[in-house]
Amino acid sequence: MVFSAYSISNSIGPEHAENQDSFLSDQEDSLFAVADGVGGYAGAKEASSLAIEGLKERAFLLSNDVASFESVLKEIHEDIQQKADRLHLENMGTTIAVAKVFPDSNGLGGAIITANVGDSPILFFPSREDAKCVPVYTDDSHRDQDPYAFVGIIQYLGLPDWKVDVHTHKFSYSSDDMLLLCSDGVTDNLADRSQKDRNQWSKLETLAKESRSAQRITESAISVGIKADDMTAILLLL
């Protein structure tokens, strides 16, 4: 397995002074994550950084069992809530998209567990010619009602007075498959929102398979110019 990771922003300005995304690419533990600080609220960057640090510290707790992912992300959710209370920062928080790879001993495949809270996508691109992209996350936003509703997140880590619902998926992969974790700025620019089925990811899938580069993916998303945002991508070549 190899990977590429890249983060860039085209929305930095007076009210958005830094890239509020954070990410983890830990090849030794086969653990990867993207956290997108919730823009518009103070402490967004601190929240995404805290989520990634919390995940690093608890990496040893993540087993080949979805329950361990649910438990870890709920603990991080409470950490951010407590930090927001101490700093008196109302609504401070972050999305998170996590994937851990569990290779088989033969090196020809294995299993992946993904977990997410918020609207940061995780997309699986099977290498079979007849296979299409498979979203392996749940979008906690209003995009299911309006595909162009780029704001309106339903839940995130740190949301006050909220018992977070962690979404998990466990599935098999084969050699040469790909997995993409990214912040929503990438998909809001590169997905074909006029398509309501898996075809909406076809452009992004082609870009991933041809470029094999997280940098190319994020830079392409910025060049489209539909939505200015922080943009982070981690592309795993399994």
pLDDT in tens, 139-187: 999 998 887 778 889 999 999 999 999 999 999 999 999 999 999 999 9
CB 124 within 8 A of CB 179: yes
Q: 67: Cβ–Cβ under 8 A, 6 or more apart, which residues?
A: none
Residue found under tokens 């990771």: 5
Mapped onto helix, strand or coil, the DSSP state of residue 87 is: helix
Please state whether beta strands 109-117 and 167-174 pair in parallel, antiparallel, or not at all (unpaired).
Answer: antiparallel
Q: So what's the pLDDT on residue 198?
A: 65
Strands 178-182 and 122-125: antiparallel
Spatial contact of 191 and 185, defined as CB atoms under 8 Å apart: no
Read off the pTM: 0.95
Q: What is the pLDDT of residue 146?
A: 83
Structure confidence by residue, pLDDT tens digits, 98-135: 999 999 998 899 999 999 999 999 999 999 888 889 99
Mean pLDDT of the chain: 94
Give the pLDDT confidence score for residue 117 in this predicted structure. 98
Q: Are 236 and 101 in contact (CB under 8 A)?
A: yes
Instruction: Give 112's strand partners.
Output: 101, 171
Domains of the chain (ranges, CATH numbers): 2-10+20-237 (3.60.40.10)
- Tens digits of per-residue pLDDT, 57-103? 999 999 999 999 999 999 999 999 999 999 999 999 999 999 999 99
- Amino acid residing at 155: Q
Which residues, at least 6 apart from 132, have a Cβ–Cβ distance to it below 8 Å? 126, 198, 199, 201, 202, 205
The phi, psi pair for 70, rounded to 5°, reads: -60, -45
Q: Using the CB atoms, write b or e for 9-32: b if 16+ within 10 Å.
A: bbbeeeebeebbbbbbeeeeebbb
When computed from its CA atoms, the radius of gyration of the chain, rounded to whole angstroms, is 17
